[in-house]
Structures are given as C-alpha cells and as structure tokens.
Structure 1
Amino acid sequence: MTVDAQTFRAVLGQWPTGVAVVTTTSATGWHGMTAGSFGSVSLDPPLVMVCLARHIYTHELVERSGVFAVSVLGKDQAAIGHRFAGREEGDRFSRGSWSAAPTGAPVLGEAVAWLDCRVVHAYPGGDHTIFVGEVLTARTPRRTAPLLFHSRAWGQLADPLPDQVTIADTGLAAALHRRLTASGTAPARVTRAGVARLLESVRAAGVRVRTPFPPAGMPDGAPQGAPRETPVKAPHEAWSMLVEDAARLVEVPRESGITVEIADGPGAVRLIEAARARGLTVIGRVSDVFAPARQQDVLAAVDRMVAAGCAEIALDEGPEAASPLLVRNLLQEAVARARPVPLRVRLREAYGLGLANALTAMKSGVRDFDVTLGGIDGGLCAEDVLFLAARLDVATPIDRAALVAAAADLEAVWGSALPGRTYRAAS
C-alpha cells in the first residue's frame, strides 16, 4: 500500500526548497515554467537535474530541443515566480531582463544565479521525467537572499538565531573624553585615571574598545606631539581607532595590530588600501544605513568595502529611529552581499526599539554589534545586548559579569543612573 497523494504533498511541503524558473527555446520562441524540483547531481562533470511533469508543454519542448536553463529567484522576485507558475496572465518574459544563453535558452539577468544546460540523460520518474543536464555556462549575477518555497507558500529565508554574538564598544571612550574635557561640567570623580581604568575593565571583559587616541606605550611611529590622553596598557588588538584621513592614519604605527575604522566617502577606498599596506586590520563603516532612500547607496558602499579588502563592515543607524522592518530589509540584503566578510551593526536605543532591532539583526544574519557601556551616548547598551543574548540562549565570548561590574563603576564615575536597563538587576 502506498501513501495517498494528499498526505504525500503535505509531507513534501515541509521540505523547504528554492524557487527557480526552468526555460527552454523552440521554433516558436521562449518558454518556461516555475519549478522546485531542481538539484545538483555531479561536480565532475558538472551536472544538474530538473524534474518536469510529462503532461506540460515545457517538458515536450525540453525533450525536443535538448537544452534548458535554470534561473534561481531572489526573495524580491516572487512576482516572476507567480507569472511563470501561471498564477498571473500576460507575457511571462515581460518581467525582468531576459537574454539568450549560449544554448539559446533564456536566462534572467537579475537572478540570484543561472545555469545553461544541455540534456545528457532523461530518466522516467513516474508521472515526471528526470532531465539531467550538463552545465555549459553558469553565473551568479546578484547577491541577495533566495526565494523559498515551504508548506505551499513562498517566502524568505528562515530566521535562525546565530550560535554566538559578540560586541565592540565604539562609544564609551569618546563619551568619557567629552565629559572629562567639558569645561565646568565634568564631575570631580571623572578623572583621567578613572577613565583609563574603565576602558581597561571593558577591554578585560573581552570587548574591543574604540579609543580616540593611539594607545600609550605603542611602538614609536606616531608624529611628534601626537596626543596620548588614554594611557592604555592592553594588547593593541583589543583597541580600534576611527581614522578619517591619511594624516590620522600615520599616527597608527605600522604592524601595530590595532584595528582602524574607516568611514565610507570620497577617498575611503584609497585610505583602506593605505591602511592595509601598513599591515593594519580595517573595518569599513557606513552611516545612516536604515534611511529608506539610502538602501541602494548603502549596498553599493558594502560592495566597495568588500572589494577593498575590509576585514569587517560596520553599518551605523542614523538619527531617525529605524523600525524592525527597515532593519530586516536592509540587513538581509547586506549580509548576503558582504558574505564571507562579517557584518556588524551599531543601533540606537530610541522609543524602546533598540533591543527589538537587535533581535531582528540577529535573525537577519548579524553576529557582531557595536555598543556602548551603559548606553551613555544613545547607542545600544552593551550589557543589554548580552542580556538579550543570554535570554535567547545565544553564546558570547564576552564576560558579562565583568561588564556588568564595569557598568556599576561607570555609574559611580558618571554621577547618575545609566540609560542601560539590565546592569542593576544583574549587579
């Protein structure tokens, strides 16, 4: 006794697949259909297979022509998939930019990937035929998340949480320095020694810290008279500096191991190349990334920084609070384009959206966050992000207990309660 068709469909519907358009050519023009039964067969020679129902017209045409192409759809191309599935009326090739591959079969120019194939085997498979094609040409025109089919519905990638998250503090040193140097406003308890002790405590918890100045005690190489306001004794790899021009770059000694951060803009690529030539690790930064009108500019900046050789790419939220929807839309695209270069995000705490956006970022493929101890500069609070990760059972290499203790020390130095929400409960 075999399983009934309804149960069989329901069970197979729980297996998520990509969505592709299988196309071919004939004397009457191009033809195609949406297909989910597509997969790889062999690397050497390169073979793929598609399964086509024997009663459909595309099956007849592939059998006659001996060629087919497969265009893999991205998450934003469901409308193309619907049209080739026959759910919409009209010319199936009117959506998107289609062109003939070498076999003559059409491929989608904006596809996530496409393959052009010559049929080398055709096997009976019940009411389908299994066509095995030798891949003659293949391209990946666009990097984005794929369109998925699951349980008779089309959607985007599932939202698994990362196995680990980590943080870097990009705001504490600058906020303390501003407080320290503000004429007549700094509490007496805000001292250079206290600032240095706090920064060292954060670093000792396993957090990379951005400092406004080259750390003291680094090898010679900075210009004479360069500031040394932050007396740091830690390994240089634990520190980063924001570098805005070539003059600032030469303050960082060659082969020092300190990480430099370079913002996108005119001359950024040349500055990145100069930093890498000095043996420095580079983080490329892009600002105001969640502004709706900025998405294409942000993605173009990500592409430039990947090409320039940045070890990480950091995306900073702008002055307007982003919604989780905006965060998801941008990050899913940016993570796919940056891969394998890791993407990190600096979020703001505004209207209670900070942690919601952090969760959205995690579920969009982000593992690294730029934060500030106590959230004293309006950025997302370091200990709050770690609290969220702990509640989600997401591991972190950061010593959260040490960071909470540092936040308690910061409150004493700062002279008032911190914006962070969890450090008191955890102290």
Structure 2
Amino acid sequence: MNARRLPVDAIDVARAPVFDERRFRHALGRFATGVVVISSGCGESLHAMTANAFMSGSLNPPLIVVSVGTRARMHERLMDDTHFGVSVLSNDQEPHSRHFAGEPQTWLVPCFAAVDGLPGVMLLESAVARFAARIVDRHPCGDHTLFIGEVLVFSLDEQAPLVFFGGRYASVANGRLMET
C-alpha cells in the first residue's frame, strides 16, 4: 500500500502555538451526521435534547452510544436514570431539532409516545427510527460522557432523514445531500 504524506503545515502540531478549537469544531463539522433527539423521563419530568453525537455500538448485543456534554442538563439526567430514548429525526422534523436545541418553536407541539413496558421512556412520533435503551455503561470522554445503552425496543420508518453538515441542516434526496 502506498501512503501519501500530508503537507507538513497540515499536521505539524509542534509548531502550532495554540490549539484552535473553533477550527477543530469546523473540521469535525465536515462529517455529515444524522440528527437525533435524546429523551429521558415522562410526563412533567420529560426532558429532551437535540444531538448529533449518536452511533451504533454493537449488533450483538444491540448497543447504541450517545455523547452528552457534562454541562448539559441531559447529562445529569442520564447519570441518574436507567433508561433513555433516541429518536432519529426525519427530514420534516427540522423544527423539532431546533426546538430541543434551545431555539423554542412556540407553534410546535412535539408528540411523544410512551414505550409499552418501559415507564420513563418516551419517543418522538414520526421519527425515522426510534430506540428505547437501558443504560449499561458510562464512560467519561473529555468534556462529554459516552452513555452506552442496550436497545430493548426499536422501530423503523421509511422516510428521508434530517442531516447536519458543515453547521447546516440538509436532507438526502435521491441519494444526494441537499441543503435546506
């Protein structure tokens, strides 16, 4: 295998006077992700937040991973709770993403559904995929914690997902990424 070398200025960390967090965040934003709403609790104690740090952990056993900042209210909730939900947003749910990211959409009335047999887990209706999980592990990761959940119940709909790329929402249409 032939390896190509990157230009020295692109990788020379020793010469960099300060780590540029803003540029680092921009570089991370070049990775297209789906958008999810993480939820915990039910009724008056329901709390939800938008995230794009979500991934599959394992097929057997069925595990998912969410990364939540230690300063987020959801972090404290997940440190105390035993279960959580993840709703993968559809292309039509950008307002939900904004709402649960701290931009209240006053006209929006999010519809959550309870999961039979799992009190305390609520999932957004009309999401592309929904997962109810039992927290099986927590791992500190810098200014975040990785919450690993064993999937107990999931559902899947055939809709286009909401995508986040380069700090903007996008959609997938005919296999192509389109900005919204």
TM range (shorter): 0.7 to 0.9
Determine if contact 1:34/1:81 at 8 Å carries over to the other structure. yes
The match for 2:95 among 71, 79, 89 is: 79
Structure-1 separation of matches of 2:73 and 2:154:
25
Aligned-pair identity (%): 35
1:117 aligned partner: 133
Amino acid at match of 1:86: G
Could you tell me which runs of 5 or more consecutive residues in structure 1 were left unpaired when the two chains were aligned: 162-362, 365-427
Amino acid at match of 1:83: H
Structure-2 separation of matches of 1:133 and 1:157:
27
Map 1:55-134 onto structure 2 (within 5 A). 55-90=71-106, 94-95=109-110, 97-101=111-115, 102-134=118-150
Map 1:342-353 onto structure 2 (within 5 A). none
Alignment CA distance shift 1:130-1:91 (3 Å)? farther
Q: Deviations over 1:261-290 (max 9, x none)?
A: xxxxxxxxxxxxxxxxxxxxxxxxxxxxxx
Map 1:184-263 onto structure 2 (within 5 A). none
The SS at the match of 1:124 is strand
Q: Quick check: 1:4 aligned with 2:23?
A: no
2:33 aligned partner: 17
The total of aligned residue pairs comes to 160
* Offset of residue 105 of structure 1: 1.6
Map 1:412-423 onto structure 2 (within 5 A). none
2:169 aligned partner: 154
CA RMSD of the aligned region, Å? 2.3
* Offset of residue 159 of structure 1: 5.9
* Offset of residue 3 of structure 1: 3.7
Structure-1 separation of matches of 2:107 and 2:119:
22
Greater relative CO, 1 or 2 (CA 8 Å, sep 6+): 2
Structure-2 separation of matches of 1:123 and 1:149:
25
Structure-1 separation of matches of 2:107 and 2:72:
18
Q: Deviations over 1:145-187 (max 9, x none)?
A: 10000000001016657xxxxxxxxxxxxxxxxxxxxxxxxxx
Could you tell me which runs of 5 or more consecutive residues in structure 2 were left unpaired when the two chains were aligned: 1-12
Determine if contact 1:21/1:70 at 8 Å carries over to the other structure. yes
Between Structure 1 and Structure 2, which shows a larger proportion of strand residues?
A: 2
Determine if contact 1:103/1:117 at 8 Å carries over to the other structure. no
Structure-2 separation of matches of 1:126 and 1:138:
30
TM-score (structure 2 length as normaliser):
0.81
Alignment CA distance shift 1:91-1:41 (3 Å)? farther
Amino acid at match of 1:53: G
Determine if contact 1:148/1:154 at 8 Å carries over to the other structure. yes
2:63 aligned partner: 47
Max Rg structure: 1
Between Structure 1 and Structure 2, which shows a larger proportion of helix residues?
A: 1
TM-score (structure 1 length as normaliser):
0.35
